[in-house]
Each structure stands twice: as structure tokens, then as C-alpha cells.
Structure 1
Amino acid sequence: MTGHLVVVSGLPGVGKTSIAEIVAARTRSVRVSIDAVEESILACGLPSGWQVGVAAYEAARAMAEQNLRLGHDVVVDAVNDSEPARQTWLTAASQTGAHLEFVYLVISDVQEHERRLSGRDRGLAYVGEPSWSDVQRRRIDYAAWSDEVSEFDTAARAADEVADVLIARLRTK
């Protein structure tokens, strides 16, 4: 049986980390966070920019591939807002024979989305927290999905509920 590579995607503040953590814990999967990898790279003194973002995705891909080859399922927590970013996970699945599941989280309630971002502190000194205007700009540039993707509105469903649906799906594939 091939492993599962679940990529939980969406704008900052939609619940990616919460859902990825729940799914990974309940399925005993390895969780890989792009923000944690990027935080580590920036902590080494490299300047922030798109190159660090690409490096974070590539480092996370390498970790995902290693763990998939060891027989572990992997849950990735990433904004995943462009075709090149998504290609990272298509490559990982292709290289390992893993079943790839793209998950796209949205939040239809704009005020709730903004509320979730205000005062948020994930303890990332170098990556920092995006402002509401940062997220609005990112929303404009977020590439449409060309791959099959499961979409969930986290304004309508709690993180536990979304995680339960994802876990049930993984058990059938």
C-alpha cells in the first residue's frame, strides 16, 4: 500500500495548522509545516524573500519524501498558492508512489477571517504574522486550482469536523 501525502492549503488564518495537527495526531502521520522550515532558514540569517520560500518548500518536500519512503503518511501545512508550489507535492507523490490529496481551506465569513488573524501569535520570530492587508493582497494572487482539490469552508465547519472528514477519506483510498 502506498502512503498518503495530504497537503492542507489556504490563506493564512483559515485553520491549516489546526487541521493539519489534528489529522497528523489522529493518524500518527508526520506533519511538515512550511512556516516552521522557513522560520529555521531565516533564523540562520538569510534575508527574507521568495528564494527562502522556495527553499522552505524544497526542504519540506525532501522531508516528506524521506518519510513517505519509510512508510509514514505525511501531512503538509502550506499556503500553497501557486502552480510551482503545488508542483512540489506532485513531484513528491510521483517520486514515492504516494497518494496525493490536496485540501484547500477557505473561510467565507470575512469578519471571522480577519478576527482569527488579529492578535495571532504563533511564536514565529522571523516569519512573523501577516496583517489583514497582507492576506487580502495574497488572496488576489492566489492561483486557481488546476489539480483535483477538496475544498472546505472553515467558517461552516470546526477543525475537528474537517479533520474527521479527511481522515475518513484517507481510510477509503
Structure 2
Amino acid sequence: MNDLPPHPVAEAALAARTVGELVAGLTADLATDLAAQLDLSTVDGMALDAGELRTAVSREAERLGVATARQEHVLLGCLRVVDPELLAEARTRLQERRAELAHADYLAVRPIARADATRPPVTILLAGVPGTGKSTLAEELAWRLRAPVFSMDWQLGALTPFGALREDNALPLAELNLTASVARQLQLGLDVIIDATGHRREARIRWREVTESAGGRFVGAECVCSDERAQRVRVEGRARGIPGWPQTVTWEHVVRMRGLWESWDEPHLVLDSATLLPEENVRQVLAAVDRLSETGE
């Protein structure tokens, strides 16, 4: 297999004799930002073989579906040679950074003015680990508001047959797809519901920012279940029927997602499906929507 040609800006970095030299020679913003996020102290002085490095860089560029290796691929190729664990982290951070850059484009989306609009559109985010009642609540709200529901799992299921999902890109890709769907609905002046784990603080903030930049109002709801036994029964007994996606997840996955949950510091609803009937949770969300419509805040 032939190596891909490097971009001229990447060529100089390929001449580095050590990891430290390679990192010092990076000039492209994406590559330098990525290097700054990594702890490279343990590999800084490691020697590099020019031929091995060039091949590794080519493989990393091919993996990301590009025809020319750039500086970020040089850094990934370097780590592919010297430290596979750091490589895994770098791949993930690169995808997160790309999603962050793309997010700025959706912040520029502006609403299409309509003379017959009765109120600003609303984004309702229903976030929480599996088995907390997010999807049930989303479905009922969709009927009440006649609003589309965009589910992270449905979008991931649609991508699965194409082999587009990797460990490093699945979450950033899913979050960005949701951002795009939300921005377009808001641009049309329509309410939208997000059904997602939403465990990352940054993702929740981005969805609020996109909503507000498009002239909409944002309602966030953290779905929980204080009865662990009931939650586990739900998770292990359900069959969701999402094309391309597992019928359910393991309880171990639920526990892992709990550990990944980042605190929600902005004002939001907390809806406990173990103590409140679904209808009461629906009422709380609709009441929050009504308050936004009345106050305009």
C-alpha cells in the first residue's frame, strides 16, 4: 500500500528526529491545539524513524478518509508509533475539536422571519442515563406540541450500516448531528425535542447556545429514576425497535454512563420517573414552556 502524499505544511514535521522536535515544528492551529491537550512528557525524547513515521501518518490520514496528510495526521502518526494509549486519546480529542469548530457554523444560523409566528420556538432537551424515562416523555411531548423528536440512538442506528462510527467519533458525530437537526427546525420557527443522554456539560451548553442564537427558548430537563431496581427492570426488559441499534443496553453500561455524567449547573428541571407519573412530568415541561412564552426569557 502506497503512502499518501503529505500536505506541504506537514512535510517539515516529518523530518523530525524526536517526538519533541515534531511537536515543536507544528504550526497549524488544529495540530497545535491537539498537542496542547495531550500530556506528551513521557514520549518527548523518543526517537522517530522517518520511514516508519511517514507510513504511520499515511495510515492515520487514510483512516480519517482524507487524500492528503496534514499536521494533525502527523501528530497522530507519531503517537501511533510511540504510544498507542496516547493515540486513542488524541484521536478522540481531534474529533471533539472538529465538532467544536463545526458548532460555530450552527451558531450563525438565523431564523426565517414569519409574520404569522405566535411565539419563539422552543428546544426541549431531555437528558439522562438509560432507563430514566426520557423517550417515553419525549414521545408524549411530541404529540402535545406536534414537535419532532431527534434521538441520539436513532441517528447512530442510521449511521451503523455504513461503517461510519468509530470509538473516537461516535459521540461527537451524534452530538453534531443533533445540533444540525435542532438548528434547522429552529430556523423554520418550529419547536424541537432532543432525546439524548446529554451527559456532557459542553454538549448541553452548545444546544442552548444554538437555540438562543436562532431566536429560540431553551428548556432543559434532567431525567432520573430514584428507584434503581425499577430502572434496571426497565433497561433489561425493553426492546426499543431502533433500526441498526441494539434493543437495549446492559446494566453495566448504565452504571458507566452514571460515572460519566457531568453536573448540570445551569437552571433546569429534574424529573424523577420513580416518584412522579409520566403525566406529571409532561405537565412540568409544558409549564416551563408556557413560562418562557409569557416572560420571553
Task: Please classify the TM superposition score into its range, dividing by the shorter chain length.
Answer: over 0.9
Matches of 2:288 and 2:267, distance apart in 1: 14
What 5-or-longer segments of structure 2 have no aligned partner? 1-118, 293-297
Residue pair 2:154, 2:243 contacting (<8 A) in 1 also: no
Matches within 5 A, 1:86-125: 86-124=204-242
Aligned to 1:140: 259
TM-score (norm 1): 0.93
| Aligned-residue offset at 1:125 | 5.2
Aligned to 1:154: 273
TM-score (norm 2): 0.56
Whose relative contact order is higher, 1 or 2, with alpha carbons under 8 Å and at least 6 apart? 1
- Name the aligned partner's letter for residue 120 of structure 1: R
Pick the aligned partner of 2:178 from 57, 60, 63: 60
- Name the aligned partner's letter for residue 202 of structure 2: P
Structure with bigger helix share is 2
Matches within 5 A, 1:10-89: 10-89=128-207
Matches of 2:184 and 2:260, distance apart in 1: 31
For 1:27-73, what per-residue CA distance to the aligned partner results, in whole angstroms no more than 9, with x for missing partners? Answer: 11121111111111122222342412211111111111111111111
For 1:117-138, what per-residue CA distance to the aligned partner results, in whole angstroms no more than 9, with x for missing partners? Answer: 1121112354322111110111
> Aligned-residue CA RMSD in angstroms?
1.5
Q: Helix, strand or coil for the counterpart of 1:93? A: helix
| Aligned-residue offset at 1:87 | 2.8
Matches of 1:57 and 1:170, distance apart in 2: 23
Percent identity (aligned)? 25
Q: Which has the larger radius of gyration?
A: 2
Q: Helix, strand or coil for the counterpart of 1:118? A: helix
Aligned residue pairs: how many? 173
Q: Which moved more, 1:98-107 or 1:158-167?
A: 158-167
Matches of 2:217 and 2:266, distance apart in 1: 13
Residue pair 1:42, 1:52 contacting (<8 A) in 2 also: no
- Name the aligned partner's letter for residue 136 of structure 2: S
Q: Helix, strand or coil for the counterpart of 1:143? A: coil
Structure with bigger strand share is 1
